[in-house]
A and B are shown apart, each in its own frame.
Chain A
Amino acid sequence: GAGVSQSPRYKVAKRGQDVALRCDPISGHVSLFWYQQALGQGPEFLTYFQNEAQLDKSGLPSDRFFAERPEGSVSTLKIQRTQQEDSAVYLCASSSTDGFEAFFGQGTRLTVV
């Protein structure tokens, strides 16, 4: 596709359930970012991949959050034992080797009930 694709668009999870959020970056984009956007806030950095290497995971809020990009393209953000405070929009972005512009997907809205 032409843009960054995220699925599902909406996810409702019961507290304690595990969830997996998928990101398909723009083809050929080396860098991939995950951000978390709480209601009424700006996006906050979670983690960053260059190809399959996770170079920065300093923004992951707890060890319940895990991200992978095993083949350097599609990425999955996994949240284990979801809590209410995990409710947010999760945004994925990708950029090419020159890295001057990050293209964002539409996000996955996660609601934990």
Chain B
Amino acid sequence: AQSVTQPDIHITVSEGASLELRCNYSYGATPYLFWYVQSPGQGLQLLLKYFSGDTLVQGIKGFEAEFKRSQSSFNLRKPSVHWSDAAEYFCAVGPGGNEKLTFGTGTRLTIIP
């Protein structure tokens, strides 16, 4: 069965500092991996996705993520966070195409001035 672990429930960083959110997955085949962001009262917005090819993927809002098969990880990074990045971040895995996603429990990001 597929699963996603986001080990950090809550992370606090200073505005302008770098950010890394961790995601580990368990999946029997080549996974399709996603990072979504959810602001309070909002739905999920896709930040980036990985299907194949280059293991470093670029997304919206200056985010990037690196797929490391050997570590079963897909960590999300941003070199300099902005106050508007404060939100809940979810990593998800799926078999690809029109198939259901399995989400992690999320990491809440707080930005301090």
- Interface, chain A (partner B; CB < 8 A): 4, 30-31, 33, 35, 40-45, 48, 50, 56, 59, 91, 93, 95, 97-107
Type the 1/0 row for B33-46, where 1 means its CB is closer than 8 Å to any CB of A: 00010000111111
Known: A93-B44, A107-B43. 4 other contacts (CB 8 A): A33-B100, A56-B100, A95-B98, A100-B96
Interface residues of B (CB under 8 A from A): 4, 32, 36, 41-46, 49, 51, 90, 92, 96-106
Distance (whole angstroms) from the CB of B111 to the closest CB of chain A: 20
Q: Distance (Å) between the CB of B9 and the closest chain A CB?
A: 9
Give the dominant DSSP class at A's interface.
loop
Contact indicator B100/A45 (Cβ below 8 Å)? yes
Is A42 within 8 A of B103, CB to CB? Answer: yes
B101 contacts A45, C-beta separation under 8 Å = yes
Interface of B is mostly: loop
Known: A41-B106, A100-B51. A105 touches B43 (CB 8 A): yes
Considering residues B36, B96, B101, which has the most beta carbons from chain A within 10 angstroms of its beta carbon? B101
18 contacting pairs across A/B (C-beta < 8 A): A33-B100, A40-B106, A41-B105, A42-B4, A42-B103, A42-B104, A42-B106, A43-B44, A45-B101, A48-B98, A59-B100, A95-B98, A98-B97, A99-B96, A99-B99, A100-B32, A100-B96, A104-B44
**Are the C-beta atoms of B43 and A4 separated by less than 8 Å?**
yes
Contacts of B100 in A (CB 8 A): 33, 45, 48, 56, 59
* Cβ-defined contact, B98 with A99, below 8 A: yes
Instruction: Give the residue of A43, A99, A103 whose beta carbon is less than 8 angstroms from that of B90.
Output: A43
Check A100–B97 contact: CB distance below 8 A.
Answer: yes
B105 & A42 in contact (Cβ 8 Å cutoff): yes
Residue of A nearest to B100 (CB): A45
